[in-house]
Structure 1
């Protein structure tokens, strides 16, 4: 092992750069739908040994060593994000004649930007670098901080944060309830990097002991929490929810030529009788922006919904909302959710707050517009972000916390309004990305929001994956990718104002401080 590590440390030039990219790319195999969890126990030791070969004094901020470490981290991140996000280009190919030119920007440009965060992590870790266990503690803390920064800098894009790779199944998801996604990212990197100590020996016993303890605690807490009884009582109401998954091809939605047929398909799936004589659904869910016209400008459509729903039923649907402006100005458009009762009345509504860059709006529009960069969704001026997120309050004391499409990938979108929520509802349209890893990765992130908050997630997607996920990340029932139909699922929802949810970011800070303390102690030669 020492000989292998030594040869990797001494690599230079293109061989060194290529291995860093390959190490990152290999790590992406741990993401859905592949889930090759063990690959990161090879990927990160390779990266640690490459970092060991960086010369210069790490304590000098302007030193060549820090610049080399940054570039090494960038190469690792570039490989990871290209391998993990290549499917973003599928959305551009839906209108290839207009957007194919931007394919390199999506497949290579975005990964190049995201890799800057891993470059920062490597440079920060290099500042605390030593030849013992402290260096993997420094790397772990730095990666946790980088993932945290990636969640909000430049509107944020924490997709495929490293912590997700350590949480592929429910028993391995429960720890996120304690330390959060970014704490999990830091601790995962520490465990993944621990095998690197087999080659350098110093701190081997301490490092492997700590890593083993973390793995034991991770699985042990998972088993413990999964075996806890779910809280039941008079403050919970049993409901039947129908998930409608129309599986309409995105090219058909873009053509917008048969809007009536699209609308009628949703109504037909809504009106299907329950299977095997089951209870009729109390709540019907349609996906994101599924109604192919402005609903409030089409009273006939509201009437058709009223005719389809039975008494007491409520429909929740994604739609586009328009808002008129001053004379001569185009209307504003919002990506919204409506709750509609059996009278055809809109009883609750909210707008998407966190818009998707280049999909729903163009950042720096004046500058980038001159370069021909436009929204994928053709609306005058794109979408407007909602001013605030409104809880959807339904009859019977049920409150749903709405997250539209990729809003659910942001742990920091869990605002105080969640304290009154019975469940999280997530409507989305992953048909943009076809049969690629994208929908599977999106679904995993939705499951982790359920575990973090202890709230069920009701997720409805145009082409899947639609499902109800319990507060421990387990899939109650649902429909696979590209399936068409309706699924009725029974669940118990907590009535409003009976919440135990609290968001505590101090545990991530504590994890980071402990790891950095270990790095400093090792740097000083005490371990």
Structure 2
């Protein structure tokens, strides 16, 4: 493959730009709904060779080389994010008359911003680049740090981190419990880059052997963990809770039409009361998706009465709803994206508000600055919600607790704090109807189910148009409803897998992996410089 590596390294102009974008774009096939993780071997092999050829301007020195590497990484990232996030534009077409102008910002603007992190990664790696496996280690460490930064800079958006491409099925998800998304990213990038060694002979045997060892450990650990999964779950306290998840499949345009509110509400109630299949236990908890209730419940006692009519004695409804709060005389009320717990008497017994809001979807960041600059179109984007100052747990009758994550909060590993250990399950309610029949709902579901793996908890996920599911602590779907299917899921949860790893320990392991790869990279660079001199 040396001839191919040579051709890639020597590319220039538009051919080089096109290949960098293609290398990123083809990697998107590793993500749901495709899950062809092998495409990332092509992506990162090409990326390594492209960086090998990023020499910058003759006589331009180190700064020129770093700029050239940044450009390659940015082009790679732009191709990757356009290919896996193009569906975001669908949300703007729901009300096209009002928001179609922002389509290029969603389809190309956000990927252009996210690609900066990958550009920084390749520039950082290029600073300690060498001719052996050290350059793979440098790229791996740099991508891990870039994905970590992407999770919180400017409110964060860690959607489709490279690690997700390495974990398409439960067998390959278990490493996440130990290393977390960012630690898995580091090792995955090294493995996916390893075929580049076939094109540059130095360090081939050691590098490929190490990559094979990492891949075998990844799969082997998954096989071992799944082998003991049922035994570990069975060793719990034996208590089972029966859940009914309602997936109403309400078209987003209908949800925005005020004339449909009563019909939408009654459809949720009809599904809630749907008869059980033979042998199934009566649900203890009924779950409705995000913002299912199409009006302010606290201002509509008749709606609470209707809920009480449908629920059987002792049943509980957990539903997404908009909550209003009086901010004072002469001040507009605050609105929160919330979850309510409602008992069979129609009483709201517990509530939790969303903490991490979607920028330009639920609120407008830097609104005053944008207004002063006269950027009124951005201020007119959908929004109007207030973020909760802290996360509240949902308390069920009897004292059991649920850990609430609303919509895209589930993509942030750091949104789950240590108090998750006190809860019975993670609850994720969402409305992916904004995105239509695109890869978006599938990608969102995969990321949510990995929160179950990381925390050793059952995940209860209710989505308006799908994908709704009950997921066990090992990422396996117990019961589920696919996208665009109307109906209910009845399933039981019970038992936890007691983890030896916490979010805190995963952060330490991530930095240890980064330090290990950095040590290899720097040592290789020093050896390379020594040979060059």
Give the TM-score taking structure 1 as reference length: 0.96
Q: Work out whether 1:251 is the aligned partner of 2:253.
A: yes
Aligned to 1:92: 92
How much does 1:376 deviate? 4.8
Aligned residue in 2 for 1:359 = 361
1:494 and 1:398 map into 2 onto residues whose CA distance is 14
User: SS at the partner of 1:459?
Assistant: strand
Q: Give yes or no for contact 2:323–2:338 (8 Å, CA) kept in 1.
A: yes
Once the two structures are superposed, the pairs formed by residues 417-432 of structure 1 within 5 Å of their partners are 417-432=419-434
Q: Deviations over 1:367-392 (max 9, x none)?
A: 335321146536xxx10001111111
Contact 2:151-2:158 at 8 Å conserved across structures: yes
Cα distance, 1:233–1:203 mapped onto 2, change above 3 Å: closer
**Gap change, CA 1:500 and 1:67, over 3 Å in 2:** closer
Aligned equivalent of 1:321: 323
2-side partners of 1:501 and 1:401: how far apart? 18
Q: 1:300-338: CA deviations, max 9, x gaps?
A: 111111111111101000000001112221100000000
The alpha-carbon distance between structure 1 residues 97 and 57, as it changes in their structure 2 partners (threshold 3 A), is closer
> Per-residue deviation at 1:61?
8.9
Measure the CA separation in 2 of the matches of 1:148 and 1:502. Answer: 17
Superposed counterparts of 1:173-212, under 5 Å: 173-212=173-212
Normalising to structure 2: TM-score of the pair? 0.95
**1:278 CA drift (Å):** 2.0
Q: Which deviations, in whole Å up to 9, do the C-alpha atoms of 1:429-463 show, x marking residues without a partner?
A: 00000100000000000111111111110000000
Q: CA deviation at 1:168?
A: 0.2
Shift of 1:234: 6.5
Over 3 Å counting, the alpha-carbon distance change for 1:203 and 1:501 in structure 2 is closer
Q: How far off is 1:236 after superposition?
A: 4.4
The structural deviation recorded for 1:4 is 0.9
Unaligned segments of structure 2, at least 5 residues: none
Pair 1:474–1:108, CA change in 2 (3 A): same
> Which stretch has the larger CA shift, 21-30 or 359-368?
359-368
Q: Is the 8 A contact 2:90 2:436 kept in 1?
A: yes
Deviations along 1:476-503, whole A, 9 cap, x unmatched? 01111000011211221569xx997722
**Residue aligning to 1:377:** 382
Residues 240-319 of structure 1 mapped to structure 2, 5 A cutoff: 240-319=242-321
Alpha-carbon contact 1:454-1:501 (below 8 Å) kept: no
Q: Secondary structure at the match of 2:233?
A: coil
Give the secondary structure class of the aligned counterpart of 1:358.
Answer: coil
CA distance in 1 between counterparts of 2:243 and 2:477 reads: 14
Q: Offset of 1:190 from its aligned partner?
A: 0.3
Q: Paired residue for 2:454?
A: 452
Match of 1:215 in 2: 215
Describe the SS at the equivalent of 2:232: coil
Task: Spell out, residue by residue over 1:152-176, the C-alpha distance to the aligned partner (whole angstroms, 9 max, x if none).
Answer: 0000000000000000000000001
Do the aligned partners of 1:398 and 1:494 also contact (CA within 8 Å) in 2? Answer: no
Which secondary structure state, in structure 2, belongs to the residue aligned with residue 318 of structure 1? strand
User: 1:515 matched to which residue of 2?
Assistant: 517
1:395 Cα deviation from its structure 2 partner: 2.4
Partner of 1:363, secondary structure, is coil
Q: Which residue of 1 aligns with 2:154?
A: 154
| Partner-residue secondary structure (3-state), 2:332 | coil
C-alpha separation in 1, matches of 2:369 and 2:156:
20
User: Residues 216-253 of structure 1, C-alpha deviation per residue, up to 9 Å, x if partnerless?
Assistant: 10010000000112234563420110000000000000
Counterpart of 1:81 in structure 2 is 81
- 1:77 is paired with a residue whose SS is helix
Instruction: Report which stretch shifted further, 270-279 or 236-245.
Output: 270-279
Matches within 5 A, 1:407-422: 407-422=409-424
Give the CA deviation at 1:366.
2.4
Structure 2 residue matching 1:192: 3-state secondary structure: helix
Counterpart of 2:227?
227
Between the aligned partners of 1:95 and 1:75, the Cα distance in structure 2 is 31
**2:123 equivalent to 1:123:** yes
Distance in 2 (alpha carbons) for counterparts of 1:230 and 1:340: 33
> Is the contact between residue 307 and residue 344 of structure 2 (CA under 8 Å) also seen in structure 1?
yes
SS in 1 for 2:352: strand
Q: How many correspondences in the alignment?
A: 521
Rounded to whole Å, the distance in 2 between the matches of 1:499 and 1:75 is: 39
Distance in 2, matches of 1:64 and 1:50, equals 15
After the TM superposition, which residues 3-82 of structure 1 pair with which residues of structure 2 at under 5 Å, given as runs?
A: 3-55=3-55, 63-82=63-82
Write the distance in 2 (CA, Å) between the matches of 1:209 and 1:170: 25
Question: d(CA) in 2 for partners of 1:204 and 1:313?
Answer: 62
Maintained 8 Å contact 2:236/2:496: no
Corresponding residue for 1:350? 352
Shift of 1:56: 5.3
Alignment of 1:131-146 (within 5 A): 131-146=131-146
Does the residue aligned with 1:483 lie in a helix, a strand or coil?
A: coil
C-alpha separation between the residues in 2 aligned to 1:511 and 1:268? 51
**CA drift at 1:180:** 0.6
Structure 1 CA distance for aligned equivalents of residues 496 and 178 of structure 2: 22
Aligned to 1:401: 403
